[in-house]
Amino acid sequence: MVDDLLFGRVTSFRREQGFGVITLDDGRDVKFDASDCTMIPEEGAAVRLRVGPARWGGGVKALHVEPRGTSPLFVQTPRELTLDERIAALQREHLVSALSEQAMTRLVADVFEGALGAASLLDVLDAFYLRNPASARSDGYFRHNRRFQDTSDDVLAEIAALVPGCRLPRQVALTLAGTIGTIGRLHVRQPDGREHTIEVESLDDIVFLVNDALREAGDPRRIYPLETDGGWHAYFVLSADRAARLAKVLPFATEPHEIN
């Protein structure tokens, strides 16, 4: 049974983990996840919320959290953020390394002819990372055109460099196909020495292979696909909490909670 609307204040929030505690006006403490908030939580913020049974661990948790000043009569549809607001959120949350005001000014002048115009946030990030490969490596960003084999001899090795400290499958051979729409067959060696071959139709197939290996290894990181036009692929290697924060401003092809 979901409680009626309650009021409280954020008393703790672990930004990197993406969860915290709200102390209600009646003194009770309620857990919450950042993904259930309509705003970026800040300690001390007055909020209004609905609570219900926690799925794990017993007790209750917040199901919906919003600033206290919003109307109690209906759930407001969040206003879509402008591109400038999305960029500001990335900077405020330190989600993109080295994306300073100065870096943005140079990027807009050099790449976008002085005005972002109809550019998307991914357009901005892709241009920034192409100019700043060290930041791309630090943030776990990588991208390729659909036929990735034209620009990379070993994508698995490229991905492994973005996931230090975890043993991943290694490429033994990539046999290219002669048919349109299929890349070929990838022969890999698993960390335990087993070898097998997978059919590869796109880079997503290799990303799925790596995510499966990360899951088996108990590694909290995953590779998250971003929304592109289909002619190219872009991804971030992230922990789940960082992915949830980034997904609030940057469209992902798959919701972070759907990638286990």
User: What CATH number is attached to the domain comprising 39?
Assistant: 2.40.50.140
pLDDT digits (tens, 9 = 90+) for 84-100: 888 988 888 888 988 88
Q: Which residue among 24, 44, 67 closes a domain?
A: 67
User: Residues 97, 87: one domain?
Assistant: yes
User: Residues 156, 228: one domain?
Assistant: yes
User: Residues 18, 110: one domain?
Assistant: no
How many angstroms separate the CA atoms of 125 and 116, rounded?
Answer: 12
What value does the mean pLDDT take over residues 209-229?
Answer: 94
pLDDT band at 229; cut points 50, 70, 90: confident
Residue 73 lies in a domain: no
User: Residues 144, 248: one domain?
Assistant: yes
User: Residues 159, 259: one domain?
Assistant: yes
Alpha helices by DSSP H, 112-238? 121-131, 133-139, 155-160, 203-216
What value does the mean pLDDT take over residues 168-185?
Answer: 84
Residues near 149 by beta carbon (within 8 Å), at least 6 away in sequence: 155, 174, 176, 183, 184
pLDDT at 246: 92
pLDDT band at 1; cut points 50, 70, 90: very low
Neighbour tally for 248: CB within 10 Å: 19
pLDDT at 104: 92
User: How many domains are contained in the chain?
Assistant: 3
Bridge partners of residue 190, in order along the sequence: none
Residue 72 lies in a domain: no
User: Residues 59, 133: one domain?
Assistant: no
User: Residues 120, 228: one domain?
Assistant: no
Residues near 217 by beta carbon (within 8 Å), at least 6 away in sequence: 166, 167, 191
Inform me whether the pLDDT recorded for 77 exceeds 80: no
Inform me whether the pLDDT recorded for 74 exceeds 50: no
pLDDT digits (tens, 9 = 90+) for 10-66: 999 988 778 899 999 988 999 998 888 888 888 999 999 989 887 665 678 898 899
Residues near 209 by beta carbon (within 8 Å), at least 6 away in sequence: 169, 188, 198
User: Residues 48, 119: one domain?
Assistant: no
pLDDT digits (tens, 9 = 90+) for 116-174: 999 999 999 999 999 999 999 999 999 998 888 888 889 999 999 999 999 999 999 99
pLDDT band at 73; cut points 50, 70, 90: very low
Note down the domain range covering 113.
Answer: 80-138
Residue 232 lies in a domain: yes
pLDDT at 138: 93
Residue 218 lies in a domain: yes
User: Residues 110, 134: one domain?
Assistant: yes
User: Residues 178, 105: one domain?
Assistant: no
